Structure 1
Amino acid sequence: MPIKPDSAVTMEPYGEYEADCPAHLAVDLFGNRWLPVIVYTLREGPLRPVDLQRAIGGISQKMLTQTLRRMQRMGLLERRGYAEAPPRVEYELTRAGRDLLVPIDALGAWADRHGNTVRTALYGHDEDD
């Protein structure tokens, strides 16, 4: 008997194979280390790349640029350029990007509830000890 989480979502049939499941796309999104971090960082509104990099910490300029371009192609954010001297660029979440905040918040809540359990299982002790 399959285990269902407390708030399971029922989805329409998706095809003959498990790999056809639309949730596969969502797992791919969260497989990127920086994509959820960028979405979360942009939750309050648009930011310039230098401000994103400063707020995130630990991400190289090259990785930030690559991830922003990928997210733009995916329709998760919009790039706005301003004809100023010097030129200014900002990135802002689209509706699809903002909707990703729901599972990001859910994963954060899960990590808050179960992080110590996972750490204890992995390392044999509670990191707070």
Structure 2
Amino acid sequence: MTVEVAQAQFAPYGPYTADCPARLGVDLFGNSWLPVVVFELRNGPQRHSELFTAIGGISQKMLTQTLRRMEQMALLRRQRYAEAPPRVEYELTAAGRDLLVPIDALATWVDRHGAAVTTAMYGDPDD
């Protein structure tokens, strides 16, 4: 069975060379927490503590680093409110919301093939 995949053109870049813009996508998904944070922010702004509670397995330090990186990349906005105590919320930008498209595509792929990949890697859990 042959599957046709649309290929983006990155002239004058070669595929995945050091200066190719396509590497940004690989870098974004290479940070395992970034897609998780994007997905968690899909329904609107949240505070750091809300994100920490909703995302299992992430440390406070890693969440802070991921949020800072995402802010530097213009994937989210950090809104600080002048209140006592101070309140900070994080919200996806348009670029951050657009990342939900490939995240959803990856989730669809995992739904279709995740069990087979897991079985191939670790064996059948029923054996």
Pair in the same fold by TM > 0.5 = yes
8 Å CA contact 2:13–2:20 kept in 1: the answer is no
1:40-51 to structure 2, matched below 5 A, reads 40-51=39-50
TM-score, normalising length from structure 1? 0.88
Residue 117 of structure 1 aligns to a residue whose secondary structure is: helix
8 Å CA contact 2:80–2:89 kept in 1: the answer is yes
Q: Does 1:91 align with 2:79?
A: no
Aligned amino acid, residue 14 of structure 1: A
Report the counterpart of residue 105 of structure 1 in structure 2.
Answer: 104
Residue 103 of structure 1 aligns to a residue whose secondary structure is: helix
Q: Which residue of 11, 14, 18 corresponds with 1:17?
A: 14
How far the C-alpha of 1:28 sits from its partner, in A, is: 0.7
1:26-37 to structure 2, matched below 5 A, reads 26-37=25-36
Residue 90 of structure 1 aligns to a residue whose secondary structure is: strand
Aligned amino acid, residue 84 of structure 1: E
What CA deviation, in whole Å up to 9, does each residue of 1:81-110 have, x standing for no partner? 000111100000000000000000000000
8 Å CA contact 2:76–2:96 kept in 1: the answer is yes
Please give the root-mean-square deviation of Cα atoms over the aligned residues, in Å.
1.8
Go from structure 1 to structure 2 and tell me whether the alpha carbon gap of 1:115 and 1:83 turns closer, same or farther (over 3 Å shift): same
Residue 81 of structure 1 aligns to a residue whose secondary structure is: strand
Aligned amino acid, residue 29 of structure 2: F
Matches of 1:52 and 1:110 in 2, distance apart? Answer: 25
Aligned length: 124
Aligned residues with identical type, % of pairs: 65
Report the counterpart of residue 53 of structure 2 in structure 1.
Answer: 54
Report the counterpart of residue 64 of structure 1 in structure 2.
Answer: 63
Q: Does 1:4 align with 2:28?
A: no
Matches of 1:16 and 1:41 in 2, distance apart? Answer: 34
TM-score, normalising length from structure 2? 0.89
